[in-house]
Amino acid sequence: MSTEQRQRYVLQHLANERTVLAWMRATLSIAGVGFVLINLLKIDADSPWRPCIRYGTIGLMVYGACIVSYATMYYLRNRRHIHRGGHLCSSPYVGPVYGLFVGILLGVLFLILAQYCVH
């Protein structure tokens, strides 16, 4: 293996690791929104918003777990392809995953605004 090929090989692995770390950072942000949502909105036991907040928070945690699982599979798949010398194009799931993320954030924003409008 020539020096140029080795450098390209190393750069591909580093890029793959950066991608996975970015997914993990996004997951921590999603989970953080769930925790902040619980602490920010001190909901009374008889509040009609309590189930929405609870299920929204659980949804954020499940979504974060799904992203971690997907990122791990994505990393391992790319790692195998890098070792084989193949090239992979970007995953077709990136757009829908981020679209769902934006939708969840908009839903959380709506819940926060609705909570303040009720009081």
Taking the whole predicted model, whether its pTM rises above 0.75 is answered as: no
Residue 6's Cβ-count burial label (10 Å; 0-12, 13-18, 19+) is exposed
* pLDDT tens digit sequence for 67-87: 888 888 888 888 888 878 766
Q: Tens-of-pLDDT digits for all 119 residues of the chain?
A: 688 877 887 888 888 888 888 888 888 887 777 777 766 666 666 767 677 777 777 777 777 778 888 888 888 888 888 878 766 555 666 667 777 777 777 777 777 777 666 65
Closest C-alpha to 51, from 111, 119, 100, 118 = 111
For residues 91 and 73, the answer to whether their CB atoms sit within 8 Å is no
- The pair of structure tokens assigned to 116 is 């303040």
d(CA 17, CA 39): 33
Residue given tokens 């392809």 in the structure block: 81
